[in-house]
Structure 1
C-alpha cells in the first residue's frame, strides 16, 4: 500500500540534527520545521481559520479525546472530515487522546499531571481522583468523561477508528503517557504497553486505509509515539522499536523541561529513521524550545501555550514576555511589539488591549491570541530560513539574548 504522506529533506545544518524539509499530505504541503497550531476542539481558541492562514499557520492539530466527547467523531465524518467541519483547507493532525485519558480523564481540574500510582501490582487497578476514574489494562484505558461522568473505553483499535472518522491527514498512535514521577517498575510496564498498543494501532490503521483506498478516499498517515520518560536506555529502546515498524513518521511523547530537550529529544532523534518526519508533542511554552527542538532534530511541534497565555494577558515580544494587564500599559500607545507584522500590532496599541482585558472584553483575547500565534509561527519561519542560509546559530544567539537577557531558562546557554 502506498503511503499517505511523503517527506523530503532539503537542507541540513552541519554538526547538528537540524534539517529543513517538506511534508506532502493530501491537504497540502508543510514546510519544516513548522509550528503546528493547537486546535484542540476543532478550533483555535479566539481565532478563526481564516486568521490562522493569514498569520502563516500551515497546519492545525486537534484532540481525539475531546472530539469523541463533543461533538462526536461521527458528526465530524458526516460533515466531510475535520478540514471541512472547521473550514480549514490545510493539513491537519490529531493526537490519539492518550495524554488526555491519563491526565484530564483522571485529574481534570485536580492539579495532577497524569495517572497517580500506589503499590506495585496496582497498575491495572482503578485509580480514583474525587469523582474521576481511570483503569489501565492491556486492552486499553477505561475512564470517565470529564463532562458527564459517562464510562468509556479507548483501545488502540478504537483510537484509530475515531481518528479515521475525524479524517485528519496525520494521526498519532495510542500510547500511555505515565506520570513524570511514576515508579521505575511502572515506567517499564507502560513502555511495553505502548509498544504493544502501537503495533495494534498500525494493524488497524492499515486495515482502515485499505478501505479508504478501495473507496477512492485520501489515505491517512500514522505516527508511532516514542515514550520512555527521562531515561536514555528506554527512550532509545522505544525509538528503535517503533523505528523498525512501518509508521509514516514519529511523535515524541512525554513532559519535558526546556533543559531536557538537548538530552531526551537528542536520544530519540539520533535513533529514529532519518528519512521520516518527527513531531514533538505538546512542546513547552518557552521560545527557547523552538530553537532547541529544531537543533536536536524535530521537524514539527505543537503547543497550546501561545493562545492560553494570550487569554491571560501574557504576550510575547522580541524583548521578552510582558503582562498586558499591568497598569504601566494603560497609557502606552505603542504596538505590542514594533517589529511584529501581525494584524494586532499593525492596528492596535498596548493601551487599547490593556483596556479590553481590564473591561473583560472578548476582543482582547482575540487580538492577544493573534499576536502570540503570529510571533511563534514567524519565529519558526525565521528558524527554517536560517537553516537554508546557514545562519541558525547567529539567529539563535541574537533571539535568545534579546528575549531572555540575563535570565534564560535553566539549561539554556545564551552565548
Structure 2
C-alpha cells in the first residue's frame, strides 16, 4: 500500500497544459482525465462493463451524501466497500457531500460543528461534520476522498464568502486530524484532497489556494466554480488557483463541465474533471460529438442512417445510427438513454485522451483552439 503518486510527464510550452500519471492502489490514471459521475454507486443507465470497454473510464465518482442515505453505511461496509458492492475494480473518488448540502439550502443549517440537513428521501434529519464525513468516506471506500467544505453560492457578498472560506479552512484542519488518526479501511490506501474556496474574490481565492497548498496533500481540488458565475470568471479563478497550487500534485476542478470548458481548463493546468453533463444531457437527447452538438430529437436525423460519431473510438458510437437512436428516444425506450449516455461519456474520455496526445506532441494550443470552435457547432 502506498499513498497516491503523481508523475508529471510533459508540460506544454505554449499553454499551462500538462500530461501526467496518477498511481493508486486500484491502478493508474493518465491525465488529463474526465471522471464519470456515479452518484448512487452507478453511472446512470451505464453498466460497469460498458464503462470499462466502451467508455474506457479510468476512475469514477461516488457521492457521499447519496450513498450515506441509500444504500447506507451498514450495507456498504458489509459488502467490503463500494468497489466490491458495484464491481468496479479501478479507482473511485468520493466527494464529501458538501455540494449536495449546499444545493439543499432550504433544508439545511450550517454551524461551526457541521451541516444539519434533511434527507430528500424521507425528511429525516442528519448531521455531517468534518469528522463524520471522513469516517463515512472511509467506509464507502474511495481511493481519493474529499474534504468537507462549504460551497458558497454565486453571487456571494464579500463577508459571506470570507466567512465561508474561513469555515472551510477550519473544517479542513478537522478533516486532516480525523483522517490522520484513522486507518485505511479495506487494505488499500485512501488519499484526502483539500478544496480551494473563496468565491469570486481574488484575495480570498489567493489566500485559500495558498492555505490548501500548505497542507502538502497528495492532490488538491478547486471548488465553488461553475455555480453560475460567468465563464470567463471561472477561467480567471481556475488559472489563479493553478498558479498557486503545487505543480507536482494533481489538480482537480470540481463539477466542470462542457467539452470546451474542459479543454480551456486543461490549458490552464487542470488534470482532473468530473461533471454529470454527458449523462444528463444524453438522457435529454443532446449528444456531444467530434463534429459538434446534435439534438437527436430533431426531425433532420429521422432518416440519417450514418453512425452517431465516426470520429471517436467507441463500439456504441460506431455501431448505432442517428436515425435508430432518434427512434429509441421518441419511443422512450431505455436503450436510447444507455446509447446516448455511453456515447457522450466515450466522447469525453476520447477528448481528454486526444488532448493528452496533443500536449505530448507539442501542438495542443492550435488543436485546442480549433476544437473549441468545432465542438460548440450545432449540427
TM-score of the two chains, using structure 2 as the length reference: 0.95
Corresponding residue for residue 67 of structure 2? 67
Checking the alignment, whether the CA contact within 8 Å between 1:266 and 1:297 is kept in structure 2 is yes
**Would you say 1:95 and 2:85 are equivalent positions?**
no
Corresponding residue for residue 270 of structure 1? 243
Distance 1:404 1:102, change over 3 A: closer
Distance (whole Å) between structure 1 residues aligned to residue 186 and residue 317 of structure 2: 45
Q: SS at the partner of 1:339?
A: coil
Q: SS at the partner of 2:346?
A: helix
Checking the alignment, whether the CA contact within 8 Å between 1:172 and 1:225 is kept in structure 2 is yes
**Would you say 1:244 and 2:214 are equivalent positions?**
yes
Checking the alignment, whether the CA contact within 8 Å between 2:221 and 2:254 is kept in structure 1 is yes
Corresponding residue for residue 150 of structure 1? 124
Structure 1 range deviating more: 157-166 or 174-183 = 174-183
Counterpart of 2:170 (choices 196, 211, 214) is 196
> How much does 1:73 deviate?
2.2
Q: List aligned pairs for 1:10-159, cutoff 5 A.
A: 10-54=9-53, 55-103=55-103, 105-106=104-105, 129=106, 133-159=107-133
Checking the alignment, whether the CA contact within 8 Å between 2:308 and 2:318 is kept in structure 1 is no
Checking the alignment, whether the CA contact within 8 Å between 2:158 and 2:201 is kept in structure 1 is no
Distance 1:314 1:141, change over 3 A: same
CA deviation vs aligned residue, 1:14-60 (integer Å, no higher than 9, x gap): 24322111111110010011111111111001111111111211100
Q: SS at the partner of 2:347?
A: helix
Distance (whole Å) between structure 1 residues aligned to residue 371 and residue 186 of structure 2: 47
Corresponding residue for residue 348 of structure 1? 320
Q: SS at the partner of 1:316?
A: strand
Corresponding residue for residue 202 of structure 2? 232
**Would you say 1:390 and 2:362 are equivalent positions?**
yes
Q: SS at the partner of 1:147?
A: coil
Checking the alignment, whether the CA contact within 8 Å between 1:311 and 1:365 is kept in structure 2 is yes
Counterpart of 1:368 (choices 328, 335, 340) is 340
> How much does 1:216 deviate?
8.2
Corresponding residue for residue 4 of structure 1? 3
Distance (whole Å) between structure 2 residues aligned to residue 360 and residue 86 of structure 1: 27
CA deviation vs aligned residue, 1:317-348 (integer Å, no higher than 9, x gap): 22321110112211111112232332222221
Checking the alignment, whether the CA contact within 8 Å between 2:260 and 2:376 is kept in structure 1 is no
Distance (whole Å) between structure 1 residues aligned to residue 137 and residue 111 of structure 2: 21
Distance (whole Å) between structure 1 residues aligned to residue 373 and residue 140 of structure 2: 42
CA deviation vs aligned residue, 1:269-324 (integer Å, no higher than 9, x gap): 1111111111111002x211111111111111101100000000000122321110
CA deviation vs aligned residue, 1:57-102 (integer Å, no higher than 9, x gap): 1100111000000001231122111111111110110000001011
Distance (whole Å) between structure 1 residues aligned to residue 346 and residue 203 of structure 2: 38
* Structure 1 unaligned residues grouped into runs of 5+: 107-128, 408-415
Checking the alignment, whether the CA contact within 8 Å between 2:260 and 2:375 is kept in structure 1 is no
Checking the alignment, whether the CA contact within 8 Å between 2:6 and 2:21 is kept in structure 1 is yes
Distance (whole Å) between structure 2 residues aligned to residue 34 and residue 336 of structure 1: 23
Checking the alignment, whether the CA contact within 8 Å between 1:261 and 1:292 is kept in structure 2 is no
Checking the alignment, whether the CA contact within 8 Å between 1:4 and 1:218 is kept in structure 2 is no
Number of residue equivalences: 374
Structure 1 range deviating more: 317-326 or 371-380 = 317-326
Counterpart of 2:232 (choices 259, 265, 276) is 259
**Would you say 1:309 and 2:267 are equivalent positions?**
no
Distance (whole Å) between structure 2 residues aligned to residue 17 and residue 341 of structure 1: 27
TM-score of the two chains, using structure 1 as the length reference: 0.87
* Structure 2 unaligned residues grouped into runs of 5+: none
Bigger relative contact order (CA 8 A; separation at least 6):
2
Distance (whole Å) between structure 1 residues aligned to residue 218 and residue 109 of structure 2: 30
> How much does 1:179 deviate?
1.2
